[in-house]
Amino acid sequence: MSDIKKLLLSVVILFVIIAGCKKNEVVPSNNVTPPSNIIPTTPVVTDNAFYSISGSDSAQPKGQILFALNSKTQGELFITDERGSIITEKAVGTDVENFQKWNINGVTRYTYFRSVGYQLLDSIPGTELGYEYICDSNLNILDTVKLLSNGIINSTQQDEVDVHEFVLLGDHHYICETYYSEKPNNIPSSLNPAPGVKVAACIIQEVNNGSVVFQWDASQFPEFYASSQENNNFNSAKLTHDYLHLNSICVDSTDNNLIVSFRNLDEIIKINRQSGTIMWRLGGANSDFSQAPNQLFLRQHYARVIEGGKTLIFIDNGDSARPSSRILEYQLDQNAKTISGFKSYQVPDKFIQFAGSVQKVGDYYFIGAGAGDYVLKINYVTNQVLLRLTLFYPSYRTLQYE
């Protein structure tokens, strides 16, 4: 056989081999998961000055985790994937907290709180005054949220909001809260209030297009004074008394009213978003719901209504007398004011003395441990830990998003 014929035959054989390989090649479709041994992985990237990881939620990056951490000299916003690997890290100065993500009509917004030189209301520990910042998807600031003058509120005296909660409802539409120094005249005489005694009144403002459309002042409800568990020595005029300590607000999706947590009452209440009246009280000294001993809670945080309004979930932080923390879920008959379902889960990790957040996804809790300085994703059925971040500085909340 001539050299030319040999060359032509080789080309034909090679073409047949290539064609056969192409015919038998398996190409995954969009709805078929490739075998795990070919899932692409990327290195996990952390900032070792702020946190470390033990355990990994997934070999494939997905979702987002948001938290804010403050060293002695620098505040940082972190967006990571579900493995704790950094997607975005942004320095924003000192004293930054409560980093959240929102979907507003299909548009991503981020918000965070930053204090004014770590300013406290009348030097009260646990209060922190500053401003909320609304950002676009690249964390560029679009708007700054301040307290607005309305009724007794004088923004020339104080225009700072408080760190504990912010709810973005739309562009230029939000709910904020603050602690505001007042001298009430409605403290029951049985509590022996001193003349001129001051309290840290919890103020809620809903603002739409620059106008206050709803305002609520907790100091107008004298029934709360006697229910306070901390900072309630009203016969002393030397201090401003943080007798309530509001730490979370959410909108009940079933009726658009507000679910509000007051740490220093050991109580969660529901407020009518139109009239401001109190619809019910759960927990504390004056609960509208009868509670079994194991259903009582202490110094709770992050009350949220989930599962289409069927379940109220929050962290039962505990206190120095009971230094352990639980995740509690309640099903409430709000009309009859009875508890129709209850579940308790003991957090199998360090005591969360204050702050924190919890989210439920399927059989998993995603727990931002606040003062415990860790983040935990755990299967509450099997106790399998999928992810644990050790934080080198406290994070008020750590939140997971799809």
User: Is 298:316 a contact under the CB 8 Å cutoff?
Assistant: yes
pLDDT at 122: 86
What tokens appear for 364 in the block? 């998993």
pLDDT at 279: 98
pLDDT at 118: 73
- The whole-angstrom separation of Cα 208 and Cα 174 is 7
pLDDT at 372: 97
pLDDT at 21: 37
- The whole-angstrom separation of Cα 303 and Cα 263 is 11
- The whole-angstrom separation of Cα 29 and Cα 313 is 39
pLDDT at 132: 98
pLDDT at 175: 98
- The whole-angstrom separation of Cα 312 and Cα 339 is 11
Residues in the chain: 402
- The whole-angstrom separation of Cα 62 and Cα 361 is 15
pLDDT at 117: 77
- The whole-angstrom separation of Cα 60 and Cα 81 is 9
Q: What are phi and psi of 137, to 5 degrees?
A: -70, -15
pLDDT at 260: 98
Going by their DSSP bridges, the two strands 198-208 and 240-241 should be labelled as parallel
Computed on alpha carbons and rounded to an integer, the radius of gyration of the chain in Å comes to 26
pLDDT at 5: 43
User: Would you give per-residue pLDDT tens digits along the chain (402 residues)?
Assistant: 544 444 344 433 333 333 333 333 333 333 333 333 334 467 889 999 999 998 766 656 678 999 999 998 889 999 999 999 999 999 998 799 999 999 999 999 999 999 977 788 888 888 999 999 999 999 999 999 999 999 999 999 999 999 999 999 999 999 999 999 999 999 999 999 999 999 999 999 999 999 999 999 999 999 999 999 999 999 999 999 999 999 999 999 999 999 999 999 999 999 999 999 999 999 999 999 999 999 999 999 999 999 999 999 999 999 999 999 999 999 999 999 999 999 999 999 999 999 999 999 999 999 999 999 999 999 999 999 999 999 999 999 999 998
pLDDT at 12: 36
SS3 string, 91-150, reads ECCCCEEEEEEEEECCEEEEEEEEEEEEECHHHCCCCCEEEEEEECCCCCEEEEECCCCE
pLDDT at 157: 95
Strands, sheet with 258-262, edge to edge from the N-terminal-most edge strand: 246-251, 258-262, 267-271, 278-283
